[in-house]
Amino acid sequence: MTAPVYDKSDKGREEIATRKHQLASRLRTLLVMIDGKQSIPDLLKKVAGLGLDEQSIRELLAQGFIHIVVTGQSAPPGATEPGYGALSASAAMDDATRFHALYSFFNETIKSALGLRGYVLQLKVEKAGSIDDFRDLRQAYLDAVLKAKGKEMARSLGERLDQLLPPPEL
């Protein structure tokens, strides 16, 4: 396995565009440089002079500004790499953990992307009792995000959601 590659999350893109979360300037500089293409060791070589290190990456990850990218040779989404503090959202996730991750994903992104327009969707998330219920919400959720925030945001959130949703059982 090669070193993980990280990209900005929707929260990270929002921070770059609006400074809504008031990220420290050193961490914001690192966030700007994360592009979903460079490995972390390569990126850290470029910013070492600024006093940024692996802990800075961990902070951005823990605060939800970045997420791991799946490439042909990198670790699966959320696979733990030594020293990088990646969150576990891999296929090895048990159903209870996956359910909680999906619940959190829907609640956080509906609130930030849709606001009050997402009220009905949030009610449906609250009623969801299984992973299949979340799978059934997927299309309505993505349609609402597309209408409210546009194609790029819907694509990005759809990719993140697909990493959390297991393939349907036949």
Kindly report whether the global pTM for this prediction surpasses the value 0.85: no
Q: Are 159 and 126 in contact (CB under 8 A)?
A: no
Per-residue pLDDT tens over the stretch 63-101: 889 888 754 433 333 333 333 333 333 444 577 788 888
Q: Is the dihedral of CA 25, 35, 107, 56 positive or negative?
A: negative
In this model, does residue 159 exceed pLDDT 60?
yes
In this predicted model, what pLDDT tens digit does every residue of 24-63 receive, in sequence order? Answer: 888 888 888 888 888 888 888 887 778 888 888 888 888 8
Quick one: what percent of the chain has pLDDT higher than 90? 16
Q: How confident is the model at residue 2 (pLDDT cuts 50, 70, 90)?
A: low
Q: Which residues of 6-34 are buried (b: 16+ CB within 10 A; e: fewer)?
A: bbbbbbbbbbbeeeeeebeeebbebbeeb
Alpha helices in the chain (DSSP H): 10-18, 25-33, 40-47, 54-62, 95-114, 119-127, 131-149, 151-164
Express each pLDDT in 123-150 by its tens digit. Answer: 999 998 888 899 999 999 999 999 999 9
Supply the pLDDT for residue 105.
Answer: 87
Q: Give the separation between CA 26 and CA 3, rounded to whole angstroms.
A: 23
Do 122 and 111 form a contact (C-beta atoms < 8 A)? yes
